[in-house]
Amino acid sequence: MKFSNKLNEFDILDLLNEYHSELRKLKYKTEYVKKKVSELEEHYETVKLKKGRVRPEYQPAEEAVAGDQTQTLVVAEKKKRGRPAKQKVEKTELKKRKPYPLSIYDNMILSSLEEAGKAQLSKSIIEAVKVKATDAGIFENDDKLRSKINQCLVKLTNKRQDLKKVNYKGKGYGYALPVWYDDRGKLIKEFGLK
């Protein structure tokens, strides 16, 4: 049986459908991978802050940014043909990193604190954001919301400094806006947790 090398109209349509389907799948995979990378970066920042140290082999180049400073890096080269290892010192300029953009949840957290007019515990923030997310039609379930709010609180306090942590006698932290602090870095009494 001989097969023709030419494509007929149905073959072309079939191929077009298949290619469009592949494109949709690849776009979905790309968005999924971007989301996972973002989640892992946020999780890494949380772990790094808890440990209080940074392992340089896991630190992305742009994450080491803190103003227009220079940093000295020591790079050890492998031994070659019995020669001792050499050390090469390089200076790199650290560029100022753009702040992470605010998400819809970040904005909901900030507006709920502004509406409350004082520092809030994460539990109160989650309850306020749940109402806002339900009204906006984006609420899925309590576990996902709690996870998302915790990620946003890490970003807002550690990466962007849009919020400050407030020590609390009970479990967890309270959160306050930086404008609620005086020049000495103390939370003004009227904005404190009650």
pLDDT band, very low/low/confident/very high, at 113 (cuts 50, 70, 90): very high
Closest residue by Cα to residue 66 from 42, 89, 93, 47: 93
CB neighbours of residue 121 within 10 Å: 17
- How far apart (Å, rounded) are the C-alpha atoms in residues 61 and 98? 14
Kindly report which listed range (34-38, 54-58, 82-86) carries the lowest average pLDDT score. Answer: 54-58
For 67-105, how does the pLDDT look when each residue is reduced to its tens digit (9 = 90+)?
A: 444 444 444 444 445 555 555 545 444 555 666 678 899
pLDDT band, very low/low/confident/very high, at 62 (cuts 50, 70, 90): very low
Kindly report which listed range (33-47, 82-96, 104-118, 123-137) carries the lowest average pLDDT score. Answer: 82-96
Give the model's pLDDT for residue 85.
Answer: 52
In SS3 terms, 111-132 reads as HHHHHHCCCEEHHHHHHHHHHH
Which residues have CB under 8 Å from 181's CB, separation 6+? Answer: 164, 187, 188
Instruction: Determine contact, residues 149/123, Cβ cutoff 8 Å.
Output: no
The stretch 51-63 carries a mean pLDDT of: 48
Judge whether residue 190 has pLDDT over 50.
yes
Which carries the bigger pLDDT value, residue 37 or residue 92?
37
* Predicted structure pTM score: 0.50
Which carries the bigger pLDDT value, residue 157 or residue 193?
157
Give the model's pLDDT for residue 45.
Answer: 81
Give the CA distances from residue 12 to residues 6, 8, 33, 129, in Å, rounded to whole numbers and listed in that order. Answer: 10, 6, 31, 50
Instruction: Give the SS3 label for residue 175.
Output: strand
pLDDT band, very low/low/confident/very high, at 164 (cuts 50, 70, 90): very high
The stretch 30-40 carries a mean pLDDT of: 88
Closest residue by Cα to residue 181 from 153, 162, 155: 162
Phi-psi region of 178 (alpha: psi -120 to 50; beta: other; left: phi over 0): alpha
Give the model's pLDDT for residue 81.
Answer: 53
